[in-house]
Amino acid sequence: MIIVAATDFSTRSHRALRQAGLLARARRAELHLVHVVDEDLPANLARMEEREAQRVLTEQIGSMPELPDARCHATVIRGHPFDGILRASAAVGADLIVMGAIASSFCAISLQGPLSSVSFEEGSIRC
């Protein structure tokens, strides 16, 4: 089993990472922690954010009690959040995507946009 845990480093994401770690450990699954850097940032800021995100992901893998026993990989990619998460998930052949809860109004808006029309209609990710 391959699990992708998406994080924006928020408290909600932190809780989701912990749950993903427990699940990965119980299932002896591979766990990919993914952070997406906004592709609209200027190049120099994006590079800085990528380096910092990679550092934080690596630190989380070493410090969260739920993660060290799992086979973890840290991945930082550029893109828009939902698109980046789906691309990273498809690239590793994810069986499950774990992410923290998002505000309902944001979710409703997002699910009416590119995520639903591109990912779900094309069938690239099964739900």
The DSSP H or E segment spanning 126 is none
Give the pLDDT of residue 67.
80
Q: Report the distance separating Cα 28 and Cα 8, nearest Å.
A: 25
Q: What's the chain's Rg over C-alpha atoms?
A: 14
Give the pLDDT of residue 66.
85
Phi-psi map region of 47: left, alpha, beta (phi>0 left; psi -120 to 50 alpha): alpha
Q: Report the distance separating Cα 46 and Cα 111, nearest Å.
A: 26
pLDDT range class, residue 121, cuts 50, 70, 90:
very low
Give the pLDDT of residue 14.
92
Which tens digits make up the pLDDT trace of 37-69?
999 999 999 999 999 999 999 999 999 888 866
The span from the first CA to the last CA of the chain, in angstroms, equals 15
Which tens digits make up the pLDDT trace of 60-116?
999 988 886 668 999 999 999 889 999 999 999 999 999 987 654 444 444 444 433
Which fold would CATH assign to domain 2-100? Rossmann fold (3.40.50)
Q: Domain coordinates of the chain in residue numbers?
A: 2-100
